[in-house]
Amino acid sequence: MKKFLFALFHSTGVIHGISWVNRRRVPILCYHSVIDNGQLINSDPHKQHIPLRLFLKHLDYLQAHYHVISLSEFQRARSENRGLQDYTVVLIFDDGFQDFATVAAPHLIRRNLPATVFVITDRADGTLPPNGESFLNWEEISDLAKAGVAIGSHTCAHRHLIELPLPEVIRELSESRAAVRMHTNQADIALSYPFGQTSEQISRMAESAGYSCAIASDSGPNSPDANLHALSRTVIASDDDVPAFAARVSGLTWWVNRIRRVFQADSEESWDGSFPRQYTSVPAQSFD
């Protein structure tokens, strides 16, 4: 049903209209893994492993309809209160999967499309227990940096920062930033919060730790006055065909989810408690 609606909105121009309304907002498009065509994944419950053929269709769409800039260029424009070209987007890759170097990066470099990959530094060190996935090591990360790919921190061990004692949060932020700087010689290091989770206090800590910007939860395209240390990402799913991808980039899915949450909140406020609430409604379909 969801894909049918996206296809309908795409063919009728609705998505184009939403994109025009949001043309001055900047979506930060977040991928995780790009796999070779035909590669089998045993389990992908979070829809992180997108097939290369579909990823390339996404890039084709972006190059036809949007202007792709680096995260650092977005950050500088925001810091200088300088406007960006309409229909601008940023590409990022979370977790530092090894296939970024072997599958995704060659196509990005060939197309001259900037991107930032956020690495879990304890994965790069090989100090975390294996989890069945392959991650970039420091040699590969260094080679990517030399090729012009920006490297960011996804903390040391990808833990829930909001659940940690403050000294542990400080360690996760500071040690991972130091490791990225040491292995890449980059002056500016960006942060992507694990699971997109942060708080006002943690965002202030990220700024104090020296991060140039930091990316948080999926809250739609970024407005011109967005908090640089609590930026929003738009997560791309592995089964997003072109209409679904277009809907995400335009901000349509963010609008739909926002409206859905408003209706849910109104429904909760109007509940009189006369009988068990769990039997009164069916959860709304998520467009995440």
CB 92 within 8 A of CB 154: no
Which of 133, 132, 138, 206 lies closest to 170, judged by CA? 206
The stretch 190-211 carries a mean pLDDT of 97
Beta bridge partners of 241: none
Domains of the chain, by residue range, sit at 2-279
Mean pLDDT of 182-197: 96
pLDDT at residue 286 in the model: 40
Q: What is the mean pLDDT of residues 136-150?
A: 97
Tens digits of residue pLDDT in 230-246:
999 999 999 999 999 99
The residue behind tokens 């690495």 is 119
Q: What is the pLDDT of residue 279?
A: 29
The one-letter amino acid code at 48 reads Q
CB atoms within 10 A of CB 167: 8
Contacts of 226 (CB under 8 A, 6+ apart): 78, 232
Q: Give the other-Cβ count within 10 Å of 214's Cβ.
A: 24
- The overall average pLDDT reported for the chain is 89
- Per the CB < 8 A criterion, the answer to whether 69 and 114 are in contact is yes
- The pLDDT of residue 262 is 65
Render pLDDT for 94-121 as a digit per residue (tens, 0 to 9).
999 999 999 999 999 999 999 999 999 9
Instruction: Please choose, from the candidates 61, 37, 59, the residue with its C-alpha nearest in 3D space to the C-alpha of residue 49.
Output: 37
Tell me which of 54 and 217 has the higher pLDDT. Answer: 54
Where are the strands (E) in 72-156, listed by range?
A: 88-93, 116-119, 150-153
DSSP string over 172-240: HHHHHHHHHHHHH--S---EE-GGG---HHHHHHHHHTT-S-EE-S---SBPTT--TTSB--EEPPTT-
CATH superfamily of 2-279: Glycoside hydrolase/deacetylase (3.20.20.370)
> For a pLDDT cut of 90, what percent of the chain falls above it?
77
Look up the pTM and report it: 0.89
Other CB atoms within 10 Å distance of the CB of residue 152? 29
The mean pLDDT value for 115-135 works out to 95
Written as six digits, the tokens of 70 are 């680096």
pLDDT at 255: 75
Q: Is the pLDDT higher at 233 or at 282?
A: 233
